[in-house]
């Protein structure tokens, strides 16, 4: 168990070692048990977390705000548009000043080519931990919740378990690529054989692909890429299918929309789920484009664990806050 996490940032998934992630999981399960038993666990009494949002949220805001309160502290919700950031406050100012007002700074900034750099720039000047509530490259807290959920459903020994991380069609908007990128980097470390499925225009960042290959090699597991959704789903133990934008291919919105429409058949439906193992779990970080990205029969069906997954955001985030703040 690694216990020296106080004051640490969590911006990228590999900021914490495998052993440190295991510590986070141990604490998360303990906090989940305490909440179930109504045991007080105010480890962060009088601590205040700044929650700075550049990107809208449901689960992320709710789980961080509830989590810091359950730990005895307070969460200050700050919408970037209500600040002076647009009028001159730089990442240096945010890091220096919020780092003196607050005990931790959580930031959600998903703008392509901007978000991750902004978090790292704030971290350079902050004296308190910077927590990544999602950027353009990583979504580490979602990934921690996903790992926690997989351990609950499949056990901690994930060797020989096949996890499919698949693109899926959606019409709502061009979604960030951070969720699949975090998954392919983190999950090989814990023994999963990962298959990334996506149409050719929906590649992930080359440096993230290199990291995923390196982590898979280090762990002695497989990391494969296919361009066929059906092929990927065959004999899967874990199906994680969601949409993301063709941002590595193009940043032009009209071109991206035209490309996306070519692949409307990439939907997670009952027929595809039958290609996976009978006890396979279906995962999605939500919100999903129902009956476009995934059918009601799958997301509301017996293989779906999306609500347990959403709940575990709370426990995983509380664990990191308790350990770092």
Q: How many CB atoms lie within 10 A of CB 318?
A: 27
Mean predicted confidence (pLDDT) in 214-226: 98
**Residue for token digits 């949409």?**
243
Apex 123 CA angle, 187 and 311, nearest 5: 40
pLDDT digits (tens, 9 = 90+) for 294-317: 999 999 999 999 999 999 999 999
pLDDT at residue 172, as a whole number: 79
Q: Which of 318, 324, 325 is nearest to 28 (CA)?
A: 318
Average pLDDT, integer, range 221-228? 98
pLDDT in tens, 266-277: 999 999 999 999
DSSP class per residue in 223-286: EEEES-HHHHHTT-SEEEEE----TTT---HHHHHHHHHTTTT--B-HHHHTTS-TT-EEE--S
Pairing of strands 130-135, 104-109: parallel
pLDDT at 171: 86
What's the rounded mean pLDDT across residues 172-182? 93
Question: CB of 233 within 8 A of CB of 273?
Answer: yes
Three-state secondary-structure class, residue 287: coil
State CA 146 to chain mean position distance: 8
Q: Is the pLDDT of residue 30 over 90?
A: yes
Residue 173: its pLDDT value, please? 83
Write the pLDDT tens digit of every residue in 63-94.
Answer: 999 999 999 999 999 999 999 998 999 999 99
In order of start, what are the domains of the chain with their CATH numbers? Answer: 13-139+312-324 (3.40.50.1370), 141-309 (3.40.50.1370)
Contact 140, 10 (CB under 8 A): yes
**Phi (first) and psi of residue 170, to 5 degrees:** -150, 150
User: b/e string for 6-21 if b means 16 or more Cβ within 10 A?
Assistant: eebbbbbbbebeeebb
Q: Tell me what pLDDT residue 283 has.
A: 98
């Amino acid at each position: 168990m690694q216990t020296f996490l106080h004051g640490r940032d969590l911006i990228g998934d590999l900021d914490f070692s495998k052993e440190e992630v295991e510590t986070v999981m141990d604490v998360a399960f303990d906090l989940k048990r305490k909440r179930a038993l109504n045991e007080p666990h105010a480890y962060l009494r009088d601590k205040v977390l700044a929650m700075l949002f550049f990107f809208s949220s449901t689960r992320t805001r709710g789980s961080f705000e509830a989590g810091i309160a359950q730990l005895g502290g307070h969460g200050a919700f700050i919408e970037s548009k209500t600040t002076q950031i647009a009028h001159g406050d730089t990442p240096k100012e945010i890091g220096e000043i919020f780092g003196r007002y607050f005990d931790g700074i959580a930031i959600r900034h998903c703008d392509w080519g901007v978000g991750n750099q902004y978090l790292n720039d704030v971290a350079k000047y902050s004296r308190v931990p910077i927590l990544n509530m999602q950027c353009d490259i990583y979504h580490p807290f979602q990934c921690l919740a996903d790992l926690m959920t997989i351990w609950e459903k499949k056990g901690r020994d994930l060797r020989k378990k096949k996890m499919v991380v698949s693109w899926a069609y959606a019409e709502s908007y061009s979604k960030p690529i951070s969720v699949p990128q975090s998954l392919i980097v983190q999950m090989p470390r814990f023994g999963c054989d990962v298959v990334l499925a996506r149409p050719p225009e929906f590649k992930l960042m080359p440096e993230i692909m290199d990291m995923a290959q390196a982590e898979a090699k280090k762990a002695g597991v497989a990391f494969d890429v296919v361009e066929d959704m059906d092929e990927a789903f065959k004999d899967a133990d874990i199906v994680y299918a969601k949409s993301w934008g063709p941002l590595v291919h193009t940043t032009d919105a009209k071109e991206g929309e035209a490309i996306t429409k070519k692949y409307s058949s990439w939907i997670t439906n009952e027929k595809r789920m039958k290609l996976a193992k009978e006890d396979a779990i279906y995962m999605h970080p939500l919100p999903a484009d129902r009956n476009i990205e995934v059918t009601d029969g799958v997301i509301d069906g017996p293989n779906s664990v999306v609500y347990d997954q959403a709940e575990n955001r709370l426990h995983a985030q509380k664990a990191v806050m308790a350990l770092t703040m």
